[in-house]
Chain A
Amino acid sequence: MLTVCDLSVSYGRFQALRSVSLQAAPGSILGLIGPNGSGKSTFLNVIAGVQAVASGEVRLDGTLVPLGLPERVAAHGIGRSFQTPRLAHRLTVFQNIMIGARPQAGERLRSLFLQPATVRRREADIQDEARSVLRRLDLSHKANDYAGMLSGGQQKLLSLGMLLMGHPRVLLLDEPAAGVNPVLIERQINLLKELRAEGRIILLVEHNMEMVCGVCDRVVVLDSGAVIAEGDPDAIRRDERVMRSYLGEPA
Chain B
Amino acid sequence: MIDFAVFSITIIAVWSVLAISLHLQFGLTGLVNFGQVLPFAVGAYGTAFAAAHGLPAWAGAGIGVTLAPLLGLLVILPASRLAQDYWALVTLGAGEIFRLTMLNVPVIAGGDEGTSVYRFQNADLAMVLALTLLLVTLLFARRVGASPLGRMLRVLREDEVLAATLGRNPFRLQRMVTAASWVMAAAAGVLYAHVTGYISPSSFTVLETFVIWTAVVLGGPSTITGVLLGTVIVQLTSVSTRFVAQWSGLPSDLVANLRLGAYGLVLILVFLYRPQGLIPERKLRYDADRL
B288 near A94 with CB under 8 A, answer yes
Output the least CB separation between B139 and chain A (Å).
Answer: 10
Number of B positions contacting A (CB below 8 A): 32
B158 near A90 with CB under 8 A, answer yes
Given A48-B165, A106-B149, A107-B149: A144 and B286 interface contact (C-beta under 8 Å):
yes
Tell which of B203-211, B240-248, B277-285 binds the partner: B277-285
Q: List residues 143-194 of chain B with CB under 8 A from any CB of chain A.
A: 143-144, 147-149, 151-152, 154-155, 158-159, 161-162, 164-170, 173, 176, 180
DSSP majority for the A interface? helix
User: Which A residues touch B149, using CB under 8 A?
Assistant: 106-109, 112
B140 to chain A: closest residue by CB: A113
Query: What's the Cα separation between A119 and B151 when bound, in Å?
Result: 14
B156 to chain A: closest residue by CB: A88
B288 near A90 with CB under 8 A, answer no
Given A74-B165, A140-B289, A166-B167: A88 and B148 interface contact (C-beta under 8 Å):
no
B148 to chain A: closest residue by CB: A106
Contact of B155 among A79, A91, A105 (CB under 8 A): A91
Output the least CB separation between A147 and chain B (Å).
Answer: 9
Output the least CB separation between A161 and chain B (Å).
Answer: 12
Given A86-B162, A94-B286, A143-B286: A109 and B180 interface contact (C-beta under 8 Å):
yes
Output the least CB separation between A89 and chain B (Å).
Answer: 6
Q: List residues 161-210 of chain A with CB under 8 A from any CB of chain B.
A: 162, 166
Contact with B along A115-153 (1 / 0, CB 8 A): 000010001001100110010000011011010000000
Is A5 an interface residue when CB atoms closer than 8 A count as contact? Answer: no
Number of A positions contacting B (CB below 8 A): 45
User: Which A residues touch B151, using CB under 8 A?
Assistant: 91, 95, 98-99
User: Which A residues touch B289, using CB under 8 A?
Assistant: 131, 140
A71 to chain B: closest residue by CB: B169
Q: List residues 35-72 of chain B with CB under 8 A from any CB of chain A.
A: none
Is A92 an interface residue when CB atoms closer than 8 A count as contact? Answer: yes
B148 near A86 with CB under 8 A, answer no
Given A80-B165, A88-B162, A162-B166: A99 and B288 interface contact (C-beta under 8 Å):
no
Output the least CB separation between B160 and chain A (Å).
Answer: 10
A86 to chain B: closest residue by CB: B162
User: Which B residues touch A102, using CB under 8 A?
Assistant: 166-167
B166 near A166 with CB under 8 A, answer yes
Contact with A along B264-291 (1 / 0, CB 8 A): 0000000000000000010111101111
A112 near B143 with CB under 8 A, answer yes
Query: What's the Cα separation between A102 and B147 when bound, in Å?
Result: 15
Contact of A112 among B144, B158, B165, B168 (CB under 8 A): B144
A107 near B152 with CB under 8 A, answer yes
User: Which A residues touch B176, using CB under 8 A?
Assistant: 109
User: Which A residues touch B285, using CB under 8 A?
Assistant: 92, 144
Most chain B beta carbons < 10 A, residue from A71, A89, A123, A143? A71
Contact with B along A38-74 (1 / 0, CB 8 A): 0000000000111000000000000000000011011
B288 near A86 with CB under 8 A, answer no
User: Which A residues touch B154, using CB under 8 A?
Assistant: 88, 90-91
User: Which B residues touch A90, using CB under 8 A?
Assistant: 154, 158, 281
Given A99-B151, A112-B144, A143-B288: A92 and B167 interface contact (C-beta under 8 Å):
no
Output the least CB separation between A75 and chain B (Å).
Answer: 5
Other A-B pairs beyond A106-B148, A113-B143, 9, CB < 8 Å: A50-B164, A70-B165, A71-B170, A73-B165, A86-B161, A89-B158, A90-B281, A106-B149, A119-B148
Which residues of A are at the interface with B, using a C-beta cutoff of 8 A?
48-50, 70-71, 73-75, 79-80, 86-92, 94-95, 98-100, 102, 104-109, 112-113, 119, 123, 126-127, 130-131, 134, 140-141, 143-144, 146, 162, 166
A-B contact pairs, 23 of them (CB 8 A): A50-B165, A71-B164, A71-B169, A74-B166, A86-B161, A90-B158, A91-B155, A92-B283, A92-B285, A92-B286, A94-B288, A98-B151, A99-B155, A105-B148, A107-B148, A107-B173, A109-B180, A112-B144, A112-B149, A119-B148, A131-B289, A140-B288, A144-B285
